Amino acid sequence: MQSFPDSLADLKSQGHTLIGCFPLYPPLELLHSFGLSPVVLWGLRQDITHLTRSDRHLQPYACGVARSLSEFVLSRGRELLDAIFMYNACDTLRNLPEILESSLDRHGASIPLFRLHIPAVPLSRPFASDYLNERIRDLIGELEKFTGRSFSAQTFLNSTELYNRQRRLSRDLERLAETGRIRFADCSDILLSAGRMSLDDHISILERTVREFNGRAPGHQGVRIMLSGILPPPVALLDAIERTGLTVVANDIAALRRSYDYLPAASADPGAYYRDLYRNHYPCTTILPSADSRLETIMQTVRESGVQGFIFVGEKFCEYEYFEIPAVKRMIEAEGVRTLELEIGMDDALNLDAYQTRIEAFAEMLCHETRGSRRDNDAV
């Protein structure tokens, strides 16, 4: 597969105006409606081989997502990105704009930067939704100046419909993995590739894959597990999960399910659209007003999907996720679901053997227990 920087270089050579968006849930539809091609800078870890520039500005105990995207922006941003978009997703990301901006300025490599502040209080409060409306209006004004285009309600509506199409197809693809028709590792790879290509190309790939695998018979179903975390684990670990007899039947990954689970109503009004999107978003630790409903949502998925094992894929130093894990663990273990905690840091991508061993041991225990409970049922 092409590296992330090479994919962006290809897009640029095809005439795309690229806006690099910091995770997690930027207003892609609005950026797209101005003729920009937004790419979310998720999981650059496999393509970032050193952190020379980033380490001058960020402490080593910042998460790998922030460190690798900072390195990418500082070293290749000027060459590959036409603009950058950031919002206050988490404490780590909210502090990056000034740091990156001053470093880029100092090296004569400035990149136009757009920001949005999303209220950290429930959008059901009138002042919060008015505030978001104003911030969206400001952003529209800045985008008009940058692109030389006027905002078009019809174009925005078209963009919201396209992104909803992508979300629907992403959910369809995930369901194919749940029934064993496609490997979860392949499904995850296709879903994450959205950040490397144009929206139209990604929709075409999703359509083709869903059509192809829909016709297949359900695959072998192993022990049913759910994954949770910011990013899916590296491919080698997904392979280990499936090789050892586990089937990923549900996920609560921010770059996957959390990103496309909720389908906002298509709308020509950006204020109304983003109020709906951020207010009803799949609960995420970084969307503070939604955090309270996470336990209930996870529990519901665990029950509905018949989950027997739960793997936390911790992003090292992501305090948002780590504050929550003990509560989730207590809750689902009380339900009789086994749990495994993995912690993946910047330096672990090339040293995955220990994680594979832990997955193998977890799978062995789960398979043994499942065989035991089948024998007990047969005896009754």
In the bound state with ligand SF4, the residue whose beta carbon lies nearer, of 136 and 230, is: 230
| CB of 68 vs ligand SF4, minimal distance in Å | 10
| CB of 284 vs ligand SF4, minimal distance in Å | 9
In the bound state with ligand SF4, the residue whose beta carbon lies nearer, of 8 and 90, is: 90
| CB of 228 vs ligand SF4, minimal distance in Å | 13
In the bound state with ligand SF4, the residue whose beta carbon lies nearer, of 47 and 269, is: 47
Tell me, letter by letter, the H, E, C secondary structure of the chain: CCCHHHHHHHHHHCCCCEEEECCCCCCHHHHHHCCCEEEECCCCHHHCCCCCCHHHCCCCCCCHHHHHHHHHHHHHHHHHCCEEEEECCCHHHHCHHHHHHHHHHHCCCCCCEEEECCCCCCCCCHHHHHHHHHHHHHHHHHHHHHHCCCCCHHHHHHHHHHHHHHHHHHHHHHHHHHCCCCCHHHHHHHHHHHHHCCHHHHHHHHHHHHHHHHCCCCCCCCEEEEEEECCCCCHHHHHHHHHCCEEEEEEEECCCHHHHCCCCCCCCCHHHHHHHHHHCCCCCCCCHHHHCCHHHHHHHHHHHCCCCEEEEEEECCCHHHHHHHHHHHHHHHHCCCEEEEEEECHHHCCCCHHHHHHHHHHHHHHHHHHHHHHHHHHHC
Contact predicate 230/254, CB 8 Å: yes
In the bound state with ligand SF4, the residue whose beta carbon lies nearer, of 129 and 285, is: 285
| CB of 286 vs ligand SF4, minimal distance in Å | 5
| CB of 93 vs ligand SF4, minimal distance in Å | 5
| CB of 90 vs ligand SF4, minimal distance in Å | 3
In the bound state with ligand SF4, the residue whose beta carbon lies nearer, of 66 and 169, is: 66
Q: How far is 240 from 246, CA to CA, in rounded Å? A: 9
Contact predicate 195/161, CB 8 Å: no
In the bound state with ligand SF4, the residue whose beta carbon lies nearer, of 29 and 315, is: 315
| CB of 39 vs ligand SF4, minimal distance in Å | 16
| CB of 325 vs ligand SF4, minimal distance in Å | 13
Report the interface residues with ligand SF4, using CB under 6 A: 23, 63, 65-66, 90, 92-93, 230, 286, 315, 318, 320
Amino acid type, 139: L
In the bound state with ligand SF4, the residue whose beta carbon lies nearer, of 242 and 252, is: 252
In the bound state with ligand SF4, the residue whose beta carbon lies nearer, of 278 and 320, is: 320
